[in-house]
C-alpha cells in the first residue's frame, strides 16, 4: 500500500500547477507581436499575418494557426492571439486572399500559415529562432475557417490538434486522426449544430480523440473569443491544446473532472477520449483499459491473470483483487464520480468515474 501511496503522491505533485484557476485570461506570460514588416514570411495562400508570442516563457513552444470565417477579417478572432501566447503558445492569425473563400481554401491558408511558423524557427533575426517545437502544430478557425481547420487535418496528418469555432463545412470528409475540439452555439442561425457541428463530430472517426461543446443559448460568434460562454470557451480550448499539442497529460482530468462535468454554460457535451497514464513511459504499457471515462464497468485487455488495487486521489486503497479469465472487468458503479488510480502490473492508470 505504501508504494501505491508514494506513487500517487508523485503523480499528483506533477500536476500541482495545473488547476482550474491556472486557466486565466490573460495567462502568466508577457506577449509581443510580429508581422510582415518585422520580416515574417508573406505566404501566398493567405493575406496578412500577425504572430503573437510569449517573451518570458521557456521554449520550445507549441504553435497554432487561426483563420477567420466567411467575409470576416482577422480582427474577428484576434483575441485568441494574446490569450494563447500568454499561456506559452505561439499563435499566428491570418487573413484570406479573398474574404469569400470557402473552407477548402481556408484549409490551405492554414497550412501555409504553418509554413510561416516553420520559417520563423530558422529565420536568423527572429526572436523565435530555434524556439519552436515543429512537432506541436495546431490549427483553428471560425465558421468556414473552422471547417477549413478540420479539412486541414485531413490534408496534413502531422497536425497535432484542431479547434473548430462554430464551424461551417459542407464537405464532411473528416477522416483524420488529429484530436479535434468542436465548439457550437445552441442558437446559432448561421451554422446550426444539427446541420453542422453535430454532423462534423459524428463524421470524425471513432478512433480520433474528439470533443463537442455546445454553448447554451450561444450564437454564431460565441467562440470568436476565449471569453465566450463566461470564459469557459478559453478554458476548454487551452486545456485541449495543452493536452494534445503540448502533450501535457495533467490537463486530461482537468477537462473530464472539472470543465466537462455538468458545465452550466453548456447545453450539450459529447466526447470520445481517454485520460492517458501520468508519470509512466507509455511505450511500456501493455494493458488497455476501456471505456475510460466510464459510468460503471471498466474492462482490462491483458492476456495473463493480474492482481490490482484501486486507489483514491488521496492514496487510500478502495479495494483490491485478482482478475482472471478472458473478460476482466472491475465494477465502479458504487463509487462517487471523480478520478481514481488503478495499479496493476507496476503501472498506475488514471480512471475517470462518471455518474
pLDDT band for position 232 (50/70/90)?
Answer: very high
Region 102-127 average pLDDT = 98
Q: What is the pLDDT of residues 276-301, one digit of tens each?
A: 544 433 333 457 788 888 888 998 88
Cell numbers given for 337: 464520480
Q: What is the pLDDT of residue 14?
A: 58
pLDDT band for position 214 (50/70/90)?
Answer: very high
Cα 69 to Cα 36: distance, rounded to the nearest angstrom? 22
Cα 339 to Cα 242: distance, rounded to the nearest angstrom? 19
Region 301-316 average pLDDT = 84
Q: What is the pLDDT of residues 240-252, one digit of tens each?
A: 999 999 989 889 9
Catalytically active residues are 143, 188, 220
Q: What is the pLDDT of residues 133-145, one digit of tens each?
A: 999 999 999 999 9
Cell numbers given for 116: 510561416
pLDDT band for position 262 (50/70/90)?
Answer: confident
Cell numbers given for 127: 526572436
Looking at domain 282-353, its CATH superfamily turns out to be: Immunoglobulins (2.60.40.10)
Q: Which of the pair, 321 or 337, is modelled with greater confidence?
A: 321
Q: What is the pLDDT of residue 352?
A: 83
Region 126-135 average pLDDT = 96
pLDDT band for position 347 (50/70/90)?
Answer: confident
% residues pLDDT > 70 (the chain): 93
The answer on pLDDT for 260 being more than 50 is yes
User: Is residue 87 within 8 Å of 27, Cβ to Cβ?
Assistant: yes
The answer on pLDDT for 257 being more than 80 is yes
User: Is residue 36 within 8 Å of 47, Cβ to Cβ?
Assistant: no
Q: What is the pLDDT of residue 274?
A: 79
DSSP string of 95-137, one letter each residue: E-SSTT--HHHHHHHHHHHHHHHHHHTT-TT-TTTT-EEEEEE
Q: Which of the pair, 154 or 261, is modelled with greater confidence?
A: 154
Q: What is the pLDDT of residue 345?
A: 79
% residues pLDDT > 90 (the chain): 72
The answer on pLDDT for 128 being more than 60 is yes
Q: What is the pLDDT of residues 1-25, one digit of tens each?
A: 334 444 444 444 457 788 999 999 9
Q: Which of the pair, 103 or 289, is modelled with greater confidence?
A: 103
Q: What is the pLDDT of residue 223?
A: 98
Whether 19-247 shares its CATH topology with 282-353 is answered no
Q: Which of 295, 298, 296, 297 is CA-nearest to residue 349?
A: 298
Map out the domains of the chain as residue ranges: 19-247, 282-353
* CATH annotation of 19-247: 3.40.50.1820
Amino acid at each position: 500500500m505504501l508504494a501505491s501511496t508514494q506513487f500517487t503522491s508523485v503523480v499528483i505533485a506533477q500536476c500541482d500547477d495545473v488547476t482550474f484557476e491556472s486557466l486565466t485570461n490573460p495567462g502568466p506570460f508577457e506577449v509581443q507581436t510580429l508581422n510582415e514588416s518585422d520580416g515574417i514570411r508573406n505566404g501566398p495562400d493567405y493575406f496578412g499575418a500577425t504572430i503573437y508570442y510569449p517573451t518570458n516563457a521557456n521554449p520550445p513552444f507549441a504553435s497554432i494557426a487561426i483563420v477567420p470565417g466567411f467575409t470576416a477579417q482577422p480582427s474577428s478572432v484576434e483575441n485568441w492571439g494574446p490569450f494563447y501566447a500568454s499561456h506559452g503558445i505561439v499563435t499566428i492569425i491570418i487573413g484570406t486572399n479573398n474574404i469569400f473563400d470557402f473552407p477548402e481554401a481556408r484549409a490551405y491558408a492554414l497550412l501555409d500559415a504553418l509554413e510561416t511558423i516553420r520559417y520563423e524557427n530558422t529565420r536568423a533575426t527572429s526572436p523565435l529562432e530555434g524556439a519552436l517545437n515543429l512537432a506541436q502544430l495546431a490549427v483553428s478557425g471560425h465558421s468556414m475557417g473552422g471547417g477549413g481547420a478540420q479539412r486541414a487535418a485531413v490534408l496534413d496528418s502531422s497536425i497535432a490538434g484542431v479547434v473548430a469555432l462554430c464551424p461551417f463545412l459542407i464537405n464532411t470528409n473528416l477522416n483524420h486522426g488529429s484530436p479535434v475540439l468542436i465548439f457550437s452555439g445552441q442558437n446559432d442561425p448561421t451554422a446550426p449544430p444539427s446541420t453542422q457541428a453535430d454532423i462534423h463530430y459524428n463524421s470524425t472517426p471513432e478512433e480520433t480523440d474528439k470533443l463537442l461543446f455546445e454553448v447554451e443559448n450561444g450564437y454564431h460568434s460565441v467562440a470568436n473569443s476565449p471569453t465566450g460562454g463566461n470564459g469557459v470557451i478559453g478554458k476548454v480550448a487551452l486545456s485541449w491544446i495543452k493536452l494534445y499539442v503540448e502533450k501535457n497529460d495533467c490537463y486530461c482530468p482537468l477537462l473530464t473532472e472539472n470543465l466537462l462535468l455538468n458545465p452550466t454554460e453548456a447545453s450539450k457535451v459529447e466526447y470520445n477520449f481517454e485520460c492517458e497514464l501520468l508519470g509512466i513511459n507509455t511505450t511500456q504499457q501493455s494493458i488497455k483499459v476501456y471505456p475510460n471515462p466510464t459510468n460503471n464497468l471498466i474492462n482490462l485487455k491483458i492476456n495473463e491473470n493480474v492482481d490490482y488495487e484501486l486507489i483514491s486521489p488521496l492514496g487510500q486503497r478502495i479495494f483490491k483483487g485478482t482478475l482472471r479469465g478472458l473478460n476482466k472487468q472491475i465494477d465502479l458503479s458504487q463509487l462517487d464520480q471523480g478520478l481514481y488510480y488503478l495499479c496493476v502490473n507496476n503501472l498506475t492508470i488514471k480512471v475517470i468515474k462518471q455518474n
